[in-house]
Chains A and B, each alone.
Chain A
């Protein structure tokens, strides 16, 4: 069966913590979105692209063109200065391939495109803990890095400054991690796992 979302890696539950259940479950970190930018180093006429491309939406008020590719599944915003942002990829390689496809597409429309300054800007991943988390305890233990406002958002936000990653922890135990690249995301999950484990909620079977 095709796995739509590519699981990045298998994170083994750390064994140096006192775990009653003693399970050897691995945590799947599933990357759901990768955002990347690149420049074409040439001025683009958005109207031409809009009128000659197939999956193209032109928004003159915003001054950009939205182009959607089918394989890999990517949506790109293209500005007339030549800057493009690609979103919707499921891995860094995917993002790069999609960006190059996009550049090739624009090249075919007649612009002198050069593919430069490709950079992955943001990676969003989700991960599910096998236990639920007590958010209030978690926030208390980790002030001021963690913050929880139930009036505003049901998840507690944990920001790790040195790797620039943000983790949102939900009470069901699932977390979403955003960071500048995939490696940081993995590091962030590893860092936060022990903290979450401390505030684990014993479940009634």
Chain B
């Protein structure tokens, strides 16, 4: 410590000193330090920077306050609410909730939060009307805000909205009476479980309509809708639901006097009950239908048989089948078919029985014979599948198609054998194989996948169709390419490189502060105005000039801090020969 050492700088004192300025006036000594600027102790050389009290955070807050006041006055909210809203906004700022959100949305959400906590009759819809923003977008912001700030907004009570709507509907002197009636109605609705999960404005609308009519005001549905902002069908639905409650049976005087004790079930529950009843009825009807259908099928078969007798007869084995007598073969065939079905699933058995019953015995015998004919050794399951299929496919057409079609396609020719075994058997999953990147093909039927791919002709057709449909998009693409080519020729074209992930710089590890600062300066070339070499020299020679040494480390952090924020890039370069007196006014005069 020698002569000229700065012992303390910018001390915070509680006394006020005055200094005479050039024109004869006096000004207080000191600087304004903003309470919101984070721990930025103004260092030695900084004090002459303009606007030190106007940190960016303060600016943001000021703008926000302005917006809040504007919106609040439009909504006619009192000053206390606006102040609370501003506090909410400040909390949101500190929690970085404004990042990535439009500041208008955040402000609206803060205002609505205040409305909810204070219980003012403002709806989210009003705010969205003012801002011309979708309600659900605002709602999302509001929910996030409420969650992050841990503010429990009380649930909306529809009774809050009634006085407001009543005023808009202009009931004149009887305003209060109508409002009270409407409130009673709403409370009744609440007890009847009509209000859970519904918009409160809808309930209010219905209550006000009824109350108005009770007091001999004829307000049409349209007027109510324009005030309450729900649609007509909602209003009508609420009225219908209210109609279903026992309270609707009371007369006006009774309603005002008496309050029924019993509570209703919620309307969605009664609706659910109704649906169940309808379903039950349907099931019963279906059973009856089945019986009727059986009869119809019999008639159908007879008609088909007649038609077939008119058609050209086939030669060969199949003709024999069509001419065969039903009764003779029926018993023989049914027993083997029933044996087969015993082995298989219940579904197949049911199908077979249905087939045997409904379609005439020819089908059962035909399919079995056809299978035997095809002399493929297949598992019994597949036989059943086939029978099921063939039974299923020509269900309504009767047996004649089979004879006409001739040899039935087998499972293998259709390429379905594997898929059938898939349906019935197990599929083993090999998780280990999948992780290595290899595609595990177990359980995947290639031929089925083939069905998903088009063949050449179809590809051509689809290409043509797609080109036709997307011609606009393709034109745009071509124009873009032409533009890029032109620009390339002219040399203007700036290739838009896809931005890779921003590389995070390795954290600086240093033992002393000087080292850290030195490393940081190396990494980040901060300012072109600072002569780094001089600064480096200063660090090396500690004892050379104490005043300079003391200055320089102070300058470095200040330089680092300033340029880190990139606030005032254009500054007169600080050199060591700058006299202190030029560095700033209003400095406490130290004895240097």
Contacts and interface: CB of A to CB of B under 8 A. Distances in A.
Contacts of B446: 104, 108
Contact of A149 (B143, B265, B449, B463): B143
14 contacts: A52-B453, A54-B452, A54-B453, A60-B473, A71-B448, A97-B444, A100-B444, A108-B449, A108-B450, A144-B150, A151-B199, A152-B135, A170-B197, A204-B264
B106 to A, nearest CB: 17
B462 A144 contact: no
Contact of A150 (B143, B147, B199, B268): B199
B282 to A, nearest CB: 15
Given A104-B441, A135-B197, A152 B136 contact: yes
Interface string A107-139: 111000111101000000000000010111001
B491 to A, nearest CB: 30
Given A51-B454, A135-B196, A172-B266, 10 more contacts: A51-B466, A52-B459, A97-B429, A100-B444, A108-B453, A147-B143, A147-B147, A150-B155, A151-B199, A152-B135
A13 interface: no
Contacts of B152: 143-144
Contacts of B150: 144
Nearest to A147: B143
A114 B453 CA distance: 19
Contacts of B450: 108
Given A113-B439, A118-B434, A147-B147, A154 B444 contact: no
Nearest to A154: B197
Contacts of A93: 429
B104 interface: no
Interface string B124-153: 110000000001100100110011001010
B525 interface: no
B156 interface: yes
Contact of B438 (A115, A155, A170): A115
Interface in B186-213: 193, 195-201
A171 B449 CA distance: 45
B443 interface: yes
A96 interface: yes
Contact of B449 (A97, A101, A116, A144): A101
A51 B459 contact: yes
Interface string B405-443: 000000000000000000000010100001101111101
Nearest to A71: B448
B439 A103 contact: yes
Contacts of B451: 54
Nearest to B477: A60
A151 B449 contact: no
Interface of B: 123-125, 135-136, 139, 142-143, 146-147, 150, 152, 155-156, 193, 195-201, 262-266, 268-269, 272, 427, 429, 434-435, 437-441, 443-444, 446, 448-454, 459, 462-463, 466, 470, 473
A8 interface: no
Contact of A109 (B440, B441, B453): B453
A27 interface: no
Contacts of A109: 453
Interface string A184-205: 0000000000000000010110
Contacts of B146: 144, 147
A55 interface: yes
A134 B462 CA distance: 55
B196 A171 contact: yes
A53 interface: yes
B453 A150 contact: no
Contacts of A172: 266, 268-269, 272
A148 B200 CA distance: 13
Contacts of B441: 100, 104
A60 B263 CA distance: 57
B300 to A, nearest CB: 26
B265 A115 contact: no
Contacts of A61: 473
B136 A53 contact: no
Nearest to B154: A140
Contacts of B453: 52-54, 105, 108-109
A149 B269 CA distance: 21
B391 to A, nearest CB: 18
Contact of A204 (B143, B156, B262, B435): B262
Contacts of A118: 434
A55 B451 CA distance: 10
Contacts of A132: 193, 265-266, 269
Contacts of B470: 58, 60
A160 interface: no
A204 B452 contact: no
A41 B466 CA distance: 27
Contact of A171 (B197, B262, B437): B197
A115 B272 CA distance: 46
A148 B134 CA distance: 19
Contact of A53 (B124, B139, B427, B454): B454
Contacts of B199: 150-151
Interface in A12-65: 41, 50-55, 58, 60-61
A75 to B, nearest CB: 14
B198 A150 contact: yes
A41 B437 contact: yes
Contacts of A108: 446, 449-450, 453
A58 B448 CA distance: 22
Contacts of B268: 171-172
A144 B265 CA distance: 28
Nearest to B434: A115
A116 B433 CA distance: 10
A201 B440 CA distance: 51
A126 B579 CA distance: 77
Nearest to B464: A51
A201 B193 contact: yes
A43 B195 CA distance: 54
B147 A151 contact: no
Contacts of B198: 150, 154
A115 B440 contact: yes
Closest 6 CB pairs of A and B: A154-B197, A114-B437, A171-B196, A152-B139, A171-B197, A143-B152
Nearest to B450: A108
Contacts of B439: 100, 103-104, 107, 113-115
Interface in A64-121: 69, 71, 93, 96-97, 100-101, 103-105, 107-109, 113-116, 118
B116 to A, nearest CB: 10
A149 B115 CA distance: 14
B200 A204 contact: no
B463 A51 contact: yes
Contacts of A149: 139, 142-143
Given A105-B452, A170-B197, A204-B265, A144 B147 contact: yes
Contacts of A154: 197-198
